[in-house]
A and B are shown apart, each in its own frame.
Chain A
């Protein structure tokens, strides 16, 4: 690459409020790869909860704002598959016929989920980890079936020295989060989660990895409650630096 790539981080409300360390890992990792990272001011939530619950006029108003906030960004990186899906898949439709329609389509094209950005945009797959573990990968629904991505996170995990990727039965099954679903039908949501966590625990993994803060909140919440030794982490928390690279003195 000739000029250094620049990305704007869309931190997302969940990562901002609850998992800021994920954002920090991403920023540091990208910088080590020579990427300039900015955090456009005024970002909040992408509006996915509004959209999924059917509040589309409100979601469109949020989309309009978000498109403006990221208007200058060359490339946008999002640590959650569902928020990336919202921007890529739903913003253009919500703002179709709007003055911002073209801008929304542009933002959709320039937006990447974190693992996709590393693998498909930068072509960087070989990293080192500072937390060796046996891990299982959970396919987040919006990343898998919304953005059709199952390989990028697995590619990164397989290349990580010190990480053993084990097979997770039902890895493509929902964790039961589903946004407001998790509190509208909490018992059903939890029953679905229990099935997921039973699979994770049976897989022999010490750690379940996902690329979505929603799934992580659900799985972490369930694991903690059952006093499990298994941890749930965001993929970025396992990626330390590119293999062979040394920290600048």
Chain B
């Protein structure tokens, strides 16, 4: 099952977000900070640009032989006593995990932040099956309390101000809570310690998996990832198939660009490398380790228009720099993955119908492609999606008629030149003091907030004859 189609028009969703003062404040502070940190991190690191090229090359080379790398990964995970499952769809992935939970008699699952589990809507399924999911990343913990979904790939609660978080905690704990990040963190920490010890199941995503060694790699900043993977009896890691990297050397390249792009750190605070379950001589670690490899539309795109989107490291840099995301935040996009890359991933997971409007939620300014550590050409693919939407007639027919008529008109120069006199005639009732402040119908979309220049008294082409005579 793909995600249900959102039916509220995007424009309405966006307007609602624009009207949220808290959202605006939270987004502005966070994205501005992320942009500065990223810029600084790469500024201090002269090899950054070369490493980005290298990271991109590795991703491309890996995709070309994805099956071989996955086979090697599976062999190596199994050799170390882990179990590997392949899930073609989100439904299959959920069933696999629920099966594991049932078989091991799990009642509670602690989770570290994972977009892959968001993508398959795992928490709802766990809860319905009697397994209580507990998010342990601070941001995820916050939004779980608020019954919301992440609005950013790496900062799930980016849409909330610290004041709002304090209010939320106060409501849950039924006592006064200061709007101080340290206080809030201490509260969450105390609450979560209990859960780590109580949980039977630890569920994580995976930032990478190394084919050569069967190592699953988690990059975190709060240490919760380590608790999730070492305390419960069973660890399940859910990973999109494209996250496999061939070797440890390759992994180093990605680690060095990922943290810089995401948070401006040289390296995230915790880089956890996991090889299978606890071995006989080891003191820590789960009895069982499961790796769920998730397709859910990815493999089809190896040969599709969204191929490059499979390079994505989920760093969130493209969200932070996107002028649209910075205004409307993640929830307005409507699906699991927000922001520029999120539009591509939404199309990948849910098909072109889901991006009929979303593919236009971009001014194509290119800031995303510029910030992407693996230089994914996001604007190019957004245009490709628009093309697909037009060609499959998903775009509204009046729009298609207007564009096709425009295309015809600008191939008829004499008619195009009529635009001058015709425009001047039609605009006559609307020009006031050399400006057009209100226009009816569709044109009002522009003039409600901006003046429109009137068509010039004489267009450039109409002036040309006189200009030519000026020539000495």
Contact surface of A with B, Cβ cutoff 8 Å: 11, 13, 15-21, 23-24, 27-28, 31, 39, 41-45, 47, 49-56, 58-59, 61-62, 65, 141-142, 144-146, 172-174, 176-193, 195, 217-218, 220-222, 224-225, 248
**B15 contacts A by Cβ under 8 Å:** yes
Q: Which residues of B contact A52 (CB under 8 A)?
A: 364, 383, 386
Known interface pairs A11-B460, A42-B413. Does A190 touch B367 (Cβ–Cβ under 8 Å)?
Answer: no
A-B residue pairs in contact (CB < 8 Å), sample of 14: A16-B460, A17-B419, A24-B463, A49-B403, A50-B407, A52-B364, A58-B403, A58-B404, A58-B407, A174-B367, A188-B327, A192-B323, A221-B452, A221-B453
The answer on a CB contact under 8 Å between B459 and A20 is: yes
How far is the CB of B128 from the nearest CB of chain A, in Å? 36
The answer on a CB contact under 8 Å between B366 and A141 is: yes
Q: Which residues of A contact B446 (CB under 8 A)?
A: 182-183, 186, 221
How far is the CB of A69 from the nearest CB of chain B, in Å? 9
The answer on a CB contact under 8 Å between A220 and B410 is: no
How far is the CB of A126 from the nearest CB of chain B, in Å? 22
Q: Which residues of A contact B467 (CB under 8 A)?
A: 24, 27
**B244 contacts A by Cβ under 8 Å:** no
The answer on a CB contact under 8 Å between A185 and B449 is: no
Q: How far is the CA of A244 from the CA of B369 in the complex (A)?
A: 43
Q: Residue among A31, A49, A191 with the most chain B CB within 10 A?
A: A191
**B360 contacts A by Cβ under 8 Å:** yes
Contact flags (1/0) for B376-397 with A, using CB distance below 8 Å?
0000000111111111000100
Chain B stretch 400-419: residues in CB contact (< 8 A) with chain A: 403-404, 406-407, 409-411, 413, 416, 419
Known interface pairs A54-B388, A183-B442. Does A174 touch B363 (Cβ–Cβ under 8 Å)?
Answer: yes
The answer on a CB contact under 8 Å between B450 and A61 is: no
Q: Which residues of A contact B369 (CB under 8 A)?
A: 145
Q: Which residue of A lies closest to B10 (CB)?
A: A185
Contact among B328, B360, B462 with A184 in the assembled complex (CB-CB below 8 Å)? B360
The answer on a CB contact under 8 Å between A183 and B450 is: no
Q: Which residue of B lies closest to A31 (CB)?
A: B471
Please name 11 further chain A to chain B contacts, defined as beta carbons within 8 Å, in addition to the given A141-B363, A224-B451, A248-B472, sorted by A numbering. A13-B416, A18-B454, A24-B460, A45-B416, A52-B364, A55-B387, A184-B360, A185-B360, A187-B449, A192-B327, A224-B450
How far is the CB of B315 from the nearest CB of chain A, in Å? 19
Contact surface of B with A, Cβ cutoff 8 Å: 10-11, 14-15, 18, 323-324, 327-328, 359-367, 369-370, 383-391, 395, 403-404, 406-407, 409-411, 413, 416, 419-420, 423, 435, 437, 442, 445-446, 448-456, 458-464, 467, 470-472
Q: Which residues of A contact B361 (CB under 8 A)?
A: 185, 188
How far is the CB of B267 from the nearest CB of chain A, in Å? 28
The answer on a CB contact under 8 Å between B445 and A183 is: yes
The answer on a CB contact under 8 Å between A20 and B463 is: yes
The answer on a CB contact under 8 Å between B416 and A225 is: no
Contact among B362, B403, B471 with A181 in the assembled complex (CB-CB below 8 Å)? B362
Q: Which residue of A lies closest to B419 (CB)?
A: A17
Contact among B366, B370, B460 with A20 in the assembled complex (CB-CB below 8 Å)? B460
Contact among B363, B410, B448 with A186 in the assembled complex (CB-CB below 8 Å)? B448
How far is the CB of B10 from the nearest CB of chain A, in Å? 7
Contact among B323, B407, B452, B453 with A19 in the assembled complex (CB-CB below 8 Å)? B453
The 9 closest A-B pairs by CB, nearest first: A178-B363, A54-B386, A221-B450, A58-B407, A54-B387, A174-B365, A145-B366, A20-B460, A141-B365
The answer on a CB contact under 8 Å between B413 and A61 is: no
How far is the CB of A162 from the nearest CB of chain B, in Å? 25
Q: Which residues of B contact A54 (CB under 8 A)?
A: 359, 383-391, 395
Q: Residue among B370, B442, B453 with the most chain A CB within 10 A?
A: B453
How far is the CB of A42 from the nearest CB of chain B, in Å? 4
Q: How far is the CA of A58 from the CA of B15 in the complex (A)?
A: 32
Q: How far is the CA of A54 from the CA of B327 in the complex (A)?
A: 25
Q: Which residues of B contact A177 (CB under 8 A)?
A: 363
Q: Which residues of A contact B388 (CB under 8 A)?
A: 54
Q: How far is the CA of A47 from the CA of B416 in the complex (A)?
A: 13
The answer on a CB contact under 8 Å between B386 and A17 is: no
Contact among A15, A23, A187, A217 with B15 in the assembled complex (CB-CB below 8 Å)? A187
Q: Which residues of A contact B11 (CB under 8 A)?
A: 184-185, 187
Q: How far is the CA of A53 from the CA of B440 in the complex (A)?
A: 23
Contact among B323, B419, B471 with A174 in the assembled complex (CB-CB below 8 Å)? B323
Contact among A18, A55, A187, A220 with B407 in the assembled complex (CB-CB below 8 Å)? A55
